[in-house]
Amino acid sequence: MATEVPGSFSVEALFDLPCACQSLRRATRIVTRIYDQELKKAGIEITQFGLLTALAITGGATQKRLSGGFGMDSTTLSRTLDRMQERGWISAKQGTDKREHIFELTAAGGRQLTKAQSHWNRAESRLRNQLGESGWKDMQQVVSFLTKGAARA
Protein backbone atom coordinates (compact mmCIF):
# COMPACT_ATOMS: atom_id res chain seq x y z
CA MET A 1 0.00 0.00 0.00
CA ALA A 2 1.34 3.42 -0.91
CA THR A 3 2.29 5.88 1.79
CA GLU A 4 0.33 9.06 1.21
CA VAL A 5 2.02 12.42 1.11
CA PRO A 6 -0.29 15.28 2.11
CA GLY A 7 -2.08 16.18 -1.09
CA SER A 8 -3.37 13.92 -3.83
CA PHE A 9 -0.34 11.76 -4.64
CA SER A 10 1.72 9.00 -3.06
CA VAL A 11 5.39 8.81 -2.16
CA GLU A 12 5.76 6.23 -4.92
CA ALA A 13 4.64 8.85 -7.45
CA LEU A 14 7.70 10.96 -6.69
CA PHE A 15 10.67 10.60 -9.02
CA ASP A 16 14.22 11.90 -8.89
CA LEU A 17 14.68 15.33 -10.35
CA PRO A 18 18.09 16.30 -11.73
CA CYS A 19 17.55 19.97 -10.87
CA ALA A 20 18.26 21.28 -7.35
CA CYS A 21 15.73 24.07 -7.79
CA GLN A 22 12.86 21.77 -8.83
CA SER A 23 13.70 19.28 -6.07
CA LEU A 24 13.68 22.00 -3.43
CA ARG A 25 10.50 23.58 -4.78
CA ARG A 26 8.76 20.20 -4.63
CA ALA A 27 9.94 19.64 -1.05
CA THR A 28 8.75 23.08 0.03
CA ARG A 29 5.35 22.55 -1.62
CA ILE A 30 4.88 19.29 0.28
CA VAL A 31 6.05 20.76 3.59
CA THR A 32 3.88 23.86 3.02
CA ARG A 33 0.86 21.58 2.54
CA ILE A 34 1.48 19.96 5.93
CA TYR A 35 1.49 23.34 7.70
CA ASP A 36 -1.37 24.80 5.66
CA GLN A 37 -3.57 21.75 6.36
CA GLU A 38 -3.23 22.34 10.09
CA LEU A 39 -3.29 26.15 10.02
CA LYS A 40 -6.40 26.19 7.81
CA LYS A 41 -8.32 25.15 10.94
CA ALA A 42 -7.37 28.53 12.42
CA GLY A 43 -8.12 30.46 9.21
CA ILE A 44 -4.52 31.28 8.35
CA GLU A 45 -1.75 30.13 5.98
CA ILE A 46 1.87 29.39 6.86
CA THR A 47 3.14 32.53 5.07
CA GLN A 48 0.80 34.70 7.12
CA PHE A 49 1.70 32.84 10.32
CA GLY A 50 5.40 33.42 9.63
CA LEU A 51 4.88 37.13 9.02
CA LEU A 52 2.79 37.54 12.18
CA THR A 53 5.49 35.71 14.13
CA ALA A 54 8.22 37.91 12.67
CA LEU A 55 6.30 41.07 13.55
CA ALA A 56 5.67 39.79 17.07
CA ILE A 57 9.40 39.14 17.50
CA THR A 58 10.65 42.37 15.91
CA GLY A 59 7.94 44.71 17.18
CA GLY A 60 7.61 46.04 13.64
CA ALA A 61 9.46 45.92 10.34
CA THR A 62 9.56 47.51 6.92
CA GLN A 63 8.54 45.60 3.83
CA LYS A 64 12.17 45.61 2.73
CA ARG A 65 13.28 43.98 5.99
CA LEU A 66 10.49 41.38 5.84
CA SER A 67 11.21 40.66 2.17
CA GLY A 68 14.92 40.20 2.85
CA GLY A 69 14.41 38.18 6.01
CA PHE A 70 12.08 35.72 4.31
CA GLY A 71 13.92 35.72 0.98
CA MET A 72 10.57 36.62 -0.54
CA ASP A 73 9.72 38.64 -3.64
CA SER A 74 8.47 42.10 -2.66
CA THR A 75 5.43 41.91 -4.97
CA THR A 76 4.25 38.62 -3.46
CA LEU A 77 4.85 40.04 0.00
CA SER A 78 2.78 43.15 -0.85
CA ARG A 79 -0.26 41.03 -1.68
CA THR A 80 0.09 39.04 1.54
CA LEU A 81 0.57 42.17 3.66
CA ASP A 82 -2.48 43.79 2.00
CA ARG A 83 -4.66 40.77 2.86
CA MET A 84 -3.37 40.78 6.43
CA GLN A 85 -4.14 44.51 6.76
CA GLU A 86 -7.66 43.94 5.39
CA ARG A 87 -8.19 41.32 8.09
CA GLY A 88 -6.94 43.74 10.73
CA TRP A 89 -4.01 41.54 11.74
CA ILE A 90 -1.37 44.17 10.98
CA SER A 91 -1.19 47.92 10.63
CA ALA A 92 1.19 50.14 8.70
CA LYS A 93 2.59 53.44 9.83
CA GLN A 94 4.76 55.84 7.90
CA GLY A 95 8.48 55.34 8.26
CA THR A 96 11.20 57.99 8.07
CA ASP A 97 10.81 58.07 4.28
CA LYS A 98 7.35 58.81 2.81
CA ARG A 99 7.63 55.68 0.65
CA GLU A 100 8.50 53.46 3.62
CA HIS A 101 5.94 51.78 5.85
CA ILE A 102 6.56 50.01 9.11
CA PHE A 103 4.25 47.06 9.63
CA GLU A 104 3.18 46.15 13.13
CA LEU A 105 1.13 43.42 14.71
CA THR A 106 -2.31 44.56 15.91
CA ALA A 107 -4.22 43.15 18.88
CA ALA A 108 -6.32 41.15 16.39
CA GLY A 109 -3.11 39.84 14.81
CA GLY A 110 -1.84 38.80 18.22
CA ARG A 111 -5.09 36.93 18.88
CA GLN A 112 -4.85 35.26 15.45
CA LEU A 113 -1.27 34.21 16.18
CA THR A 114 -2.32 32.75 19.55
CA LYS A 115 -5.28 30.95 17.91
CA ALA A 116 -3.01 29.44 15.25
CA GLN A 117 -0.13 28.42 17.54
CA SER A 118 -1.51 25.00 18.54
CA HIS A 119 -2.21 24.18 14.88
CA TRP A 120 1.33 25.19 13.94
CA ASN A 121 2.63 22.99 16.78
CA ARG A 122 0.70 20.02 15.36
CA ALA A 123 2.16 20.57 11.89
CA GLU A 124 5.66 20.92 13.32
CA SER A 125 5.18 17.71 15.34
CA ARG A 126 3.87 15.81 12.29
CA LEU A 127 6.95 16.68 10.27
CA ARG A 128 9.35 16.18 13.19
CA ASN A 129 7.88 12.75 13.95
CA GLN A 130 8.09 11.72 10.29
CA LEU A 131 11.76 12.76 10.05
CA GLY A 132 12.84 11.50 13.47
CA GLU A 133 15.08 13.49 15.78
CA SER A 134 18.32 13.01 13.83
CA GLY A 135 16.56 13.65 10.50
CA TRP A 136 15.04 16.81 11.97
CA LYS A 137 18.44 18.12 13.08
CA ASP A 138 20.03 17.16 9.76
CA MET A 139 17.24 18.95 7.87
CA GLN A 140 17.71 22.12 9.90
CA GLN A 141 21.47 22.12 9.29
CA VAL A 142 21.18 21.41 5.58
CA VAL A 143 18.49 24.05 5.07
CA SER A 144 20.54 26.65 6.95
CA PHE A 145 23.70 25.76 5.00
CA LEU A 146 21.86 25.77 1.68
CA THR A 147 20.05 29.06 2.37
CA LYS A 148 23.25 30.87 3.32
CA GLY A 149 25.19 29.38 0.42
CA ALA A 150 22.52 30.19 -2.14
CA ALA A 151 22.18 33.74 -0.80
CA ARG A 152 25.88 34.25 -1.59
CA ALA A 153 25.58 32.85 -5.13
Q: Where are the domains of the chain?
A: 47-115
pTM of the model: 0.87
Q: Which of 96, 1, 90 is nearest to 50 (CA)?
A: 90
CATH class of 47-115: mainly alpha
Residue 53: burial class (beta carbons within 10 Å; 0-12, 13-18, 19+): middle
Q: What is the pLDDT along the chain (153 residues), one digit of tens a residue?
A: 444 444 556 787 888 888 999 999 999 999 999 999 999 999 999 999 999 999 999 999 999 999 999 999 988 899 999 999 999 999 999 988 888 899 999 999 999 999 999 999 999 999 999 999 999 999 999 999 999 999 888
